[in-house]
A = this chain, B = another copy of it.
Amino acid sequence: MKKLLLQLDSDKHPSVFDCITAYDAGVDDVLSYGGVALEDVRNLVYGAMFTRGGEDLKNTAIFIGGSDVPTGEAMLKEVLNTFFGPVRVSVMADPNGSNTTAAAAVRKITGAIDVRGRKAVVFAGTGPVGMRVCTLLAKEGAEVHLTSRKMERAEATCELIKSRFGLEVTPHQVADDEAARAVLEGAEILMTTGAPGVMLVKEEIWKANPTLKVMADVNAVPPTGIEGIKPHWDGKEKEGKVIFGALGIGGLKMKIHRGCVARLFEANDLVLDVEEIYEIAKGYQ
């Protein structure tokens, strides 16, 4: 029986990246659906739930992608609401690669330093990847600080993390170099998760910081979020810091992504969201 993956994507065209990655994870055929609205989800999921039965159900699974992360999150809820009892299939949510990217970044950081009790600062942490990185670092026991140019946005994200995961993250407004320098005082971990093309931490700032030990950034396209680093750096040591660029993280992200998709077909009741994906990520480095 073929392993079939139902790819649900809210973008006009379903992600080519997610589709190819699924094939490389061992899926026999991907059923790609683009332009999926929230109200379309139920019927599509019924088609996945009701076609195969019993032991065979685990050969069908659902992947939720799309560049719009809040919509992807809402789609996951709708998928879970559509299942009833044991009549369900496994599902993985990774809209815009947010979960696998965050898991890979935190795996890189925890592979370089024991984060427990250490101060970690996530710059521009209000987006999907940043919020997930904060969550995973906090779960690992780090003392996590999140920055945004606007205090309200930083606070809102911290409250969301608190309500959803029960974890404490401290919000900071950082809109200039002085504030950046201040928030990094005593920090051992620096991560930037800003929009493409925005440089968040100047080279002179991180070089002058004596406590920083590990730095990571997710921008593949110049300028990088941390000035003076290269996207392909994958644990490069410079000025006493271990540094990970977007491509260094990206290689691991890809392995995690494939590993999670493969895992979907081992049972019919898995729900792979940020925490579960991070658990699976621990098998990769």
Cross-chain contact of A51 among B12, B24, B44 (Cβ < 8 A):
B24
* Contact status B17-A23, CB under 8 Å: no
In contact, B48 and A16 (Cβ under 8 angstroms) = yes
Is A33 interfacial (CB 8 A cutoff)? yes
Q: Of A18, A35, A36, A51, which is in contact with the most chain B CB atoms at under 10 Å from its CB?
A: A51
Q: Is the CB of A20 within 8 A of B4?
A: yes
Interface status of A92 (Cβ within 8 A of chain B): no
What is the total number of copies of this protein in its complex?
A: 3
The interface residues of chain B lying within 8 Å CB-to-CB of A36 are: 13
Instruction: Please tell me if A165 contacts chain B, counting CB pairs below 8 Å.
Output: no
Residues from chain B with Cβ under 8 Å of A4 in the complex: 20, 23
Q: Which residues of B contact A50 (CB under 8 A)?
A: 17
Contact status B40-A17, CB under 8 Å? no
Contact of A16 among B6, B13, B16, B28 (CB under 8 A): B6
Question: Quick one: which of A36-81 are within 8 Å of B by CB?
Answer: 36, 40, 43-48, 50-52, 60
Chain A interface main SS type: mixed
Residues of B within 8 A of A28 (CB): 23
Q: A21 vs B1: C-alpha distance in the bound complex, in angstroms?
A: 11
Q: Mark A201-237, 1 if CB is under 8 A from B, else 0.
A: 0000000000000000000000000000000000000
Tell me if A19 and B1 are in contact (CB < 8 A).
no
Decide if A16 touches B44 in the complex (CB within 8 Å): yes
A170 at interface (Cβ–Cβ under 8 A)?
Answer: no
In this assembly, does A276 line the interface, its C-beta being within 8 Å of a C-beta of chain B?
no
Q: Which chain B residue lies CB-closest to A34?
A: B33
Q: Please, how many angstroms separate the alpha-carbon atoms of A254 and B28 in the complex? A: 21
Residues of chain B within 8 A (CB-CB) of A33 are 13
Q: Which residues of B contact A2 (CB under 8 A)?
A: 23-24
State in angstroms the CA–CA spacing of A48 and B15 once bound together.
Answer: 10
Please, how many angstroms separate the alpha-carbon atoms of A2 and B28 in the complex? 10
Interface residue A29 (Cβ < 8 Å from any Cβ of B): yes
Q: Which of A17, A20, A28, A36 has the most CB of B within 10 A?
A: A20
A51-B17 CB under 8 A given contacts A1-B24, A4-B23: yes
Find chain B residues with CB under 8 A from A160 CB: none
Q: A13-B33, A32-B31, A33-B13 are in contact. Are A20 and B1 (CB under 8 A)?
A: no
**25 residue pairs bridging A and B, Cβ less than 8 Å apart:** A2-B23, A2-B24, A4-B20, A4-B23, A6-B16, A12-B35, A12-B40, A13-B36, A13-B44, A15-B47, A16-B43, A16-B44, A16-B47, A16-B48, A17-B47, A19-B47, A20-B31, A20-B47, A20-B51, A20-B52, A20-B60, A23-B28, A23-B29, A24-B52, A29-B30
